[in-house]
Amino acid sequence: MKRFHRIVSGRIWLVLIVGTTCAVAGCSKVERPGTPTPGTSETAAGPKSDVAKLVPIEIKLPAPAFRGTPKPSKEPNVEAPLGKPRPAFLAPEGTVNLARGKSVAASDPAPAGGEVDYVTDGDKEASDFGYLGLRSGTEWVQVDLDRQATVYAVLVWHNHAEARVYRDVIVQIGDDPDFLDAVTVFNNDYDNSSGMGIGPEVGYVETAEGKLIDCRGSQGRYVRLYRRGNHMDDKNHYTEVEVYGRPVE
């Protein structure tokens, strides 16, 4: 098997989440999940979908796996974990994970660990071996959906074995593989340290739920996700990326 899983009981995970929120996050702002109408991200500028029946998207979460005592984070403007299941995200009927098994490219030509296809292989359990590791600095992975799609949400797991706060999380959608023209659907770079502009979103603590990003029906074939290390070290990790949407007919 590719991975050796480290699974901690839900009870221990919840205690860690509640007991260490202030130490790791330093604030109590709560993530805003999906709403009764698709499209809530303040930075997304893509076209909205046609009127359709909205249903909860089906998301299979990995087992909670916090281990050890989370290290305090000095990162500013970081929201606290909910400490409970995230509310359902609603999207038009027929919305599925378009990224599963799709090809992935990375800015690092020689990853420090793992393989690029780990990003879309469907295995999102916490592991010491099952994630893609890229060099330090601002790096990215890019998922090719094979065709243009209307994207309602992107869900990403970096390395949820520990309560890390990843820096400069930026997500874009576009039709150009070189991303010369793209829509930014998420950006929490508060000081423009990655040189792509200051983003309005806040930082967050990595958990088994991953980070769900509302893309408001933005259209494109490619999804690119940037990162610039985390509050514990300069490493960039990617365990899994899911892209929920529908192909454009």
163 closest CA partner among 233, 71, 61: 71
| pLDDT score at 69 | 54
Cα three-residue angle 140-229-78, rounded to 5 degrees: 110
- Give all domains of the chain, ordered by start, each with its CATH number: 10-247 (2.60.120.260)
Residues of the chain with pLDDT under 70: 1-51, 66-72
Residue 173 bridge partners (DSSP): 183, 223
| pLDDT score at 130 | 82
Residue 183 bridge partners (DSSP): 173
| pLDDT score at 29 | 37
Asked whether the beta carbons of 41 and 96 are under 8 A apart, the reply is no
Instruction: Please give the Cα distance from 76 to 71 (Å, whole number).
Output: 15
Helix, strand or coil, per DSSP, at residue 20: helix
| pLDDT score at 154 | 98
| pLDDT score at 9 | 36
Instruction: Please give the Cα distance from 147 to 222 (Å, whole number).
Output: 8
Instruction: Please give the Cα distance from 129 to 2 (Å, whole number).
Output: 7
How far lies 182's CA from each of 54, 175, 218, in Å? 26, 7, 10
66 closest CA partner among 4, 3, 128, 16: 16
